[in-house]
A and B are shown apart, each in its own frame.
Chain A
């Protein structure tokens, strides 16, 4: 049982480049989330999804896009990378909406230079 798998673990991007952070879960969870973590700021919600085909913005969605074509996968797209997007990104999933907490992936450390 792999849980939530994120790839890549590390990435360096140049300003203006684009990339997709991959997230997949094998627990048949309907709910999936993307957070970013910045030092001293905790985790901020970027986007979330309540099921295949349904996504919505979180607290800090600007500069990002998501899609949810299957229950298992929830990729996060950065179209024009900016230094402000340097962060650690965590994907998470849950069976219920949040009452029992989430299962987190191991994170992707992204640096934009």
Chain B
């Protein structure tokens, strides 16, 4: 069955340090992959998406993710964390065999000053 695994349920960083949120996907097809962000008590906002073009994808607010087929990974990174980055992040997959987006369980990012 199709699944998305977010390897960390909680990541804590200091402001100004790099952020790495890890995600592995399971699809053997060519997937579309997304990262969504959810700030406390808010809806979901699309950060970035991969749809089989360039493997390094740039998103909003300085985030980027790299698609690595050999590792079935799509990790999210940011060079320097900001307090406003504190939120929950979801790695999401869609492939042609599926009917809808499949969500990972989420990673909560905490940023301390």
Contact = CB atoms under 8 A, between A and B. Distances in A.
Interface string B37-62: 00000111010010100000000000
Contact of A42 (B34, B98, B99, B105): B105
Interface centre among B42, B90, B100, by most chain A C-beta atoms within 10 angstroms, is B100
Contacts of B99: 45, 48, 56, 58, 97
Interface of A: 33, 35, 40-45, 48, 56, 58, 90, 97-102, 104-107
Interface of B: 9, 32, 34, 36, 42-44, 46, 49, 51, 90, 92, 94, 98-101, 103-106
Instruction: Kindly list the 10 A-B residue pairs having the minimum CB-CB distance in the complex, ordered from nearest.
Output: A98-B94, A42-B103, A106-B43, A43-B103, A42-B105, A104-B44, A99-B32, A45-B100, A101-B34, A104-B43
Given A42-B90, A43-B90, A98 B101 contact: yes
12 contacts: A35-B103, A40-B9, A40-B106, A42-B90, A42-B103, A48-B99, A98-B32, A99-B51, A101-B32, A101-B34, A101-B46, A104-B36
Given A90-B43, A106-B42, A98 B105 contact: no
Contacts of A105: 43
Given A101-B46, A106-B43, A107-B43, A58 B51 contact: no
Contacts of A40: 9, 105-106
A97 B44 CA distance: 18
User: At the interface, is chain A mostly helix, strand, loop or mixed?
Assistant: loop
Contacts of A45: 99-101
A61 B44 CA distance: 22
A42 B90 CA distance: 7
Contact of A48 (B36, B46, B100, B106): B100
